[in-house]
Amino acid sequence: MIPPIVLLTDFGLADPYVGQMKGALLRLAPGAPVVDLCHEVRPHCILQAGFLLEASRAHFPGGSVFLSVVDPGVGSARSILAARLGGQLFLAPDNGLLSFLHGQKTSWWRADADTSNASRTFHGRDVFAPLAARLALGADPSSLGRSIDPAEAVRLEQPWAEAGDGCLDCAVLHVDRFGNCLLNLRTEAMPARGRTWVLDDGRSVALVSTYADLAPGQVGLLAGSQGVMELAVNGSSCADLLGLLPGRTFRLTCTEPLP
Protein backbone atom coordinates (compact mmCIF):
# COMPACT_ATOMS: atom_id res chain seq x y z
CA MET A 1 0.00 0.00 0.00
CA ILE A 2 1.36 3.41 -0.98
CA PRO A 3 1.67 5.69 2.06
CA PRO A 4 -0.09 9.07 2.11
CA ILE A 5 1.57 12.25 0.90
CA VAL A 6 0.54 15.02 3.29
CA LEU A 7 0.61 18.59 1.99
CA LEU A 8 1.30 21.73 3.99
CA THR A 9 1.70 25.04 2.13
CA ASP A 10 1.02 28.76 2.23
CA PHE A 11 -0.51 28.64 -1.28
CA GLY A 12 -4.13 29.23 -0.29
CA LEU A 13 -6.97 27.92 -2.44
CA ALA A 14 -7.72 30.90 -4.67
CA ASP A 15 -5.05 29.96 -7.23
CA PRO A 16 -4.27 26.74 -9.15
CA TYR A 17 -1.02 26.08 -7.28
CA VAL A 18 -2.31 23.38 -4.91
CA GLY A 19 -4.22 21.66 -7.72
CA GLN A 20 -1.18 21.63 -10.00
CA MET A 21 1.02 20.20 -7.27
CA LYS A 22 -1.56 17.47 -6.65
CA GLY A 23 -1.71 16.79 -10.36
CA ALA A 24 2.05 16.26 -10.45
CA LEU A 25 1.83 13.89 -7.49
CA LEU A 26 -1.01 11.88 -9.03
CA ARG A 27 0.86 11.64 -12.32
CA LEU A 28 4.15 10.57 -10.75
CA ALA A 29 2.77 8.35 -7.95
CA PRO A 30 -0.57 6.96 -9.18
CA GLY A 31 -2.63 5.59 -6.34
CA ALA A 32 -0.86 7.55 -3.62
CA PRO A 33 -3.36 9.10 -1.20
CA VAL A 34 -2.83 12.87 -1.17
CA VAL A 35 -3.99 14.55 2.03
CA ASP A 36 -4.39 18.29 2.53
CA LEU A 37 -3.12 19.18 5.98
CA CYS A 38 -3.34 22.96 5.51
CA HIS A 39 -2.86 25.47 2.70
CA GLU A 40 -3.70 28.60 4.68
CA VAL A 41 -0.38 29.14 6.42
CA ARG A 42 0.19 32.88 6.52
CA PRO A 43 2.42 33.69 3.50
CA HIS A 44 6.09 33.03 4.28
CA CYS A 45 5.34 32.25 7.96
CA ILE A 46 7.85 29.44 8.52
CA LEU A 47 7.37 29.17 12.29
CA GLN A 48 3.60 28.80 11.88
CA ALA A 49 4.10 26.02 9.33
CA GLY A 50 6.54 24.21 11.60
CA PHE A 51 4.12 24.38 14.50
CA LEU A 52 1.23 22.99 12.45
CA LEU A 53 3.39 20.14 11.19
CA GLU A 54 4.68 19.31 14.68
CA ALA A 55 1.14 19.34 16.09
CA SER A 56 -0.20 17.09 13.30
CA ARG A 57 2.38 14.41 12.55
CA ALA A 58 1.35 12.09 15.40
CA HIS A 59 -2.12 11.69 13.83
CA PHE A 60 -0.71 10.08 10.67
CA PRO A 61 0.54 6.54 10.14
CA GLY A 62 4.12 5.45 9.85
CA GLY A 63 5.50 5.82 6.35
CA SER A 64 3.62 9.06 5.71
CA VAL A 65 5.46 11.55 3.51
CA PHE A 66 5.02 15.13 4.69
CA LEU A 67 5.58 17.61 1.87
CA SER A 68 5.82 21.12 3.33
CA VAL A 69 6.31 24.07 1.01
CA VAL A 70 6.51 27.45 2.71
CA ASP A 71 9.38 28.72 0.68
CA PRO A 72 10.16 32.45 0.51
CA GLY A 73 13.58 31.51 -0.92
CA VAL A 74 12.16 29.59 -3.90
CA GLY A 75 14.50 29.70 -6.90
CA SER A 76 17.47 30.84 -4.81
CA ALA A 77 20.48 28.87 -3.61
CA ARG A 78 18.54 27.51 -0.61
CA SER A 79 18.67 23.73 -0.49
CA ILE A 80 16.05 21.05 0.12
CA LEU A 81 15.97 18.79 3.15
CA ALA A 82 14.70 15.27 3.57
CA ALA A 83 14.35 13.87 7.07
CA ARG A 84 13.12 10.69 8.71
CA LEU A 85 11.77 10.27 12.22
CA GLY A 86 9.93 7.23 13.54
CA GLY A 87 9.26 5.88 10.06
CA GLN A 88 7.73 9.13 8.81
CA LEU A 89 9.42 11.15 6.07
CA PHE A 90 9.63 14.92 5.69
CA LEU A 91 10.50 17.17 2.73
CA ALA A 92 10.88 20.92 3.10
CA PRO A 93 13.08 23.85 2.12
CA ASP A 94 16.13 24.24 4.30
CA ASN A 95 14.77 27.36 5.97
CA GLY A 96 13.97 26.17 9.49
CA LEU A 97 10.53 24.70 8.80
CA LEU A 98 11.71 21.33 10.17
CA SER A 99 13.35 22.81 13.27
CA PHE A 100 11.06 20.81 15.55
CA LEU A 101 12.82 17.61 14.41
CA HIS A 102 16.10 18.71 15.96
CA GLY A 103 16.97 17.06 19.25
CA GLN A 104 15.14 13.88 18.29
CA LYS A 105 16.33 10.66 16.65
CA THR A 106 16.07 12.18 13.20
CA SER A 107 18.11 11.28 10.13
CA TRP A 108 18.82 14.10 7.67
CA TRP A 109 19.69 14.35 3.98
CA ARG A 110 20.28 17.25 1.61
CA ALA A 111 18.40 16.45 -1.58
CA ASP A 112 20.03 16.82 -4.98
CA ALA A 113 17.17 18.09 -7.12
CA ASP A 114 17.28 18.73 -10.85
CA THR A 115 15.95 22.25 -11.32
CA SER A 116 17.01 22.69 -14.94
CA ASN A 117 13.43 22.45 -16.25
CA ALA A 118 11.72 23.80 -13.16
CA SER A 119 9.96 27.10 -12.79
CA ARG A 120 12.07 29.35 -10.60
CA THR A 121 8.91 30.44 -8.79
CA PHE A 122 7.13 27.11 -8.29
CA HIS A 123 9.40 24.41 -6.90
CA GLY A 124 6.43 22.91 -5.03
CA ARG A 125 5.10 21.49 -8.30
CA ASP A 126 8.31 21.04 -10.29
CA VAL A 127 10.87 19.95 -7.65
CA PHE A 128 9.25 18.97 -4.36
CA ALA A 129 6.39 16.94 -5.83
CA PRO A 130 8.69 14.62 -7.84
CA LEU A 131 10.85 14.05 -4.75
CA ALA A 132 7.80 13.28 -2.60
CA ALA A 133 6.48 10.89 -5.24
CA ARG A 134 9.76 8.98 -5.21
CA LEU A 135 9.64 8.64 -1.43
CA ALA A 136 6.00 7.50 -1.48
CA LEU A 137 6.88 4.84 -4.04
CA GLY A 138 9.51 3.42 -1.72
CA ALA A 139 12.75 5.21 -2.53
CA ASP A 140 15.14 5.48 0.39
CA PRO A 141 15.89 9.10 1.33
CA SER A 142 19.58 8.36 0.81
CA SER A 143 18.83 8.07 -2.91
CA LEU A 144 17.82 11.74 -2.94
CA GLY A 145 21.16 13.09 -1.78
CA ARG A 146 23.88 13.00 0.83
CA SER A 147 23.42 12.41 4.53
CA ILE A 148 24.15 15.47 6.65
CA ASP A 149 24.80 16.29 10.26
CA PRO A 150 21.79 17.98 11.91
CA ALA A 151 23.98 21.04 12.56
CA GLU A 152 24.10 21.65 8.79
CA ALA A 153 20.35 22.24 8.59
CA VAL A 154 18.90 25.68 9.25
CA ARG A 155 17.31 25.80 12.69
CA LEU A 156 14.90 28.44 13.93
CA GLU A 157 14.31 28.74 17.64
CA GLN A 158 10.66 28.62 18.67
CA PRO A 159 10.47 30.32 22.07
CA TRP A 160 7.94 28.72 24.40
CA ALA A 161 6.25 30.87 27.02
CA GLU A 162 6.79 30.03 30.67
CA ALA A 163 5.18 31.49 33.77
CA GLY A 164 7.45 33.80 35.70
CA ASP A 165 6.78 36.55 38.24
CA GLY A 166 3.06 36.28 37.59
CA CYS A 167 3.40 37.04 33.86
CA LEU A 168 3.20 35.11 30.62
CA ASP A 169 4.86 36.67 27.58
CA CYS A 170 3.06 34.94 24.72
CA ALA A 171 3.10 34.89 20.95
CA VAL A 172 0.39 33.80 18.54
CA LEU A 173 1.45 30.73 16.56
CA HIS A 174 -1.72 30.25 14.54
CA VAL A 175 -5.21 31.70 14.14
CA ASP A 176 -7.77 29.10 13.16
CA ARG A 177 -10.89 29.57 11.04
CA PHE A 178 -12.94 30.42 14.11
CA GLY A 179 -10.59 33.19 15.19
CA ASN A 180 -9.12 31.21 18.09
CA CYS A 181 -5.52 32.24 18.77
CA LEU A 182 -3.17 29.31 19.40
CA LEU A 183 -0.30 30.40 21.62
CA ASN A 184 3.32 29.42 22.18
CA LEU A 185 2.28 28.15 25.61
CA ARG A 186 2.21 24.39 25.93
CA THR A 187 -0.73 23.11 27.95
CA GLU A 188 1.54 21.43 30.49
CA ALA A 189 3.33 24.75 31.14
CA MET A 190 0.11 26.56 32.09
CA PRO A 191 -0.01 27.44 35.80
CA ALA A 192 -2.62 25.86 38.05
CA ARG A 193 -6.27 26.46 37.24
CA GLY A 194 -8.45 28.88 39.18
CA ARG A 195 -6.42 31.94 38.18
CA THR A 196 -7.60 35.02 36.33
CA TRP A 197 -5.41 37.01 33.96
CA VAL A 198 -5.30 40.47 32.39
CA LEU A 199 -4.16 41.48 28.91
CA ASP A 200 -1.94 44.46 28.12
CA ASP A 201 -5.03 46.61 27.51
CA GLY A 202 -6.51 45.72 30.92
CA ARG A 203 -9.05 43.29 29.49
CA SER A 204 -9.79 40.38 31.82
CA VAL A 205 -9.16 36.82 30.63
CA ALA A 206 -10.85 33.83 32.27
CA LEU A 207 -9.19 30.43 32.51
CA VAL A 208 -11.89 27.98 31.36
CA SER A 209 -12.33 24.41 30.16
CA THR A 210 -14.62 24.88 27.13
CA TYR A 211 -15.73 27.64 24.78
CA ALA A 212 -19.22 27.31 26.21
CA ASP A 213 -17.92 28.37 29.63
CA LEU A 214 -17.51 31.90 28.26
CA ALA A 215 -20.19 34.56 28.24
CA PRO A 216 -20.76 36.37 24.90
CA GLY A 217 -17.84 38.71 24.23
CA GLN A 218 -15.76 37.34 27.11
CA VAL A 219 -12.13 36.44 26.37
CA GLY A 220 -11.03 33.05 27.65
CA LEU A 221 -7.85 31.02 27.93
CA LEU A 222 -8.19 27.27 27.54
CA ALA A 223 -6.31 24.11 26.62
CA GLY A 224 -6.92 23.49 22.92
CA SER A 225 -6.69 20.35 20.81
CA GLN A 226 -3.20 21.08 19.42
CA GLY A 227 -1.23 20.78 22.64
CA VAL A 228 -1.14 24.51 23.35
CA MET A 229 -3.28 27.07 25.13
CA GLU A 230 -5.74 29.18 23.12
CA LEU A 231 -7.24 32.62 23.51
CA ALA A 232 -10.87 32.42 22.43
CA VAL A 233 -14.20 34.21 22.45
CA ASN A 234 -17.37 32.12 22.44
CA GLY A 235 -19.23 32.53 19.16
CA SER A 236 -16.95 35.11 17.57
CA SER A 237 -13.37 35.75 16.51
CA CYS A 238 -10.91 36.45 19.29
CA ALA A 239 -8.30 37.42 16.68
CA ASP A 240 -10.59 40.12 15.26
CA LEU A 241 -11.58 41.37 18.70
CA LEU A 242 -7.99 41.73 19.89
CA GLY A 243 -6.32 42.49 16.55
CA LEU A 244 -4.06 39.41 16.70
CA LEU A 245 -2.22 37.62 13.90
CA PRO A 246 0.43 34.87 13.86
CA GLY A 247 3.64 36.34 15.22
CA ARG A 248 1.98 39.00 17.39
CA THR A 249 3.18 39.10 21.00
CA PHE A 250 1.43 40.20 24.16
CA ARG A 251 1.62 39.78 27.94
CA LEU A 252 -0.81 38.07 30.26
CA THR A 253 -0.55 39.15 33.89
CA CYS A 254 -1.97 37.12 36.74
CA THR A 255 -4.30 39.06 39.03
CA GLU A 256 -3.16 37.03 42.04
CA PRO A 257 0.25 35.66 43.00
CA LEU A 258 1.33 32.41 41.45
CA PRO A 259 2.37 29.59 43.81
* The pLDDT value given to residue 258: 52
Residues of the chain whose pLDDT is less than 70? 193-194, 257-259
* pLDDT score for 254: 87
Asked whether the whole model's pTM tops 0.75, one would answer yes
Give the DSSP letter string of the chain. -PPPEEEEES--SSSSHHHHHHHHHHHHSTT--EEEEES-PPTT-HHHHHHHHHHHGGGS-TT-EEEEE--TTTTSS--EEEEEETTEEEEEESSSTTGGGTTSS-EEEEE----TTS-TT-HIIIIIHHHHHHHHTT--GGGTEEE--GGGS----------BTTEEEEEEEEE-TT--EEEEEEGGGSPPSS-EEE-TTS-EEEE-SSGGGSPTT-EEEEE-TTSEEEEEETTB-HHHHHT--TT-EEEEEESS---
pLDDT, residue 40, reads: 96
Report the pLDDT value the prediction gives residue 202, as an integer from 0 to 100: 93
Looking at every residue in the chain, the average pLDDT score rounds to 94
Measured distance CA(208)–CA(1) in Å, rounded: 44
Q: Is residue 91 within 8 Å of 73, Cβ to Cβ?
A: no
pLDDT at 170: 95
Domains of the chain: 5-152 (3.40.50.10790), 167-254 (2.40.30.90)
How would you classify residue 63: left for phi > 0, otherwise alpha for psi between -120 and 50, otherwise beta? left
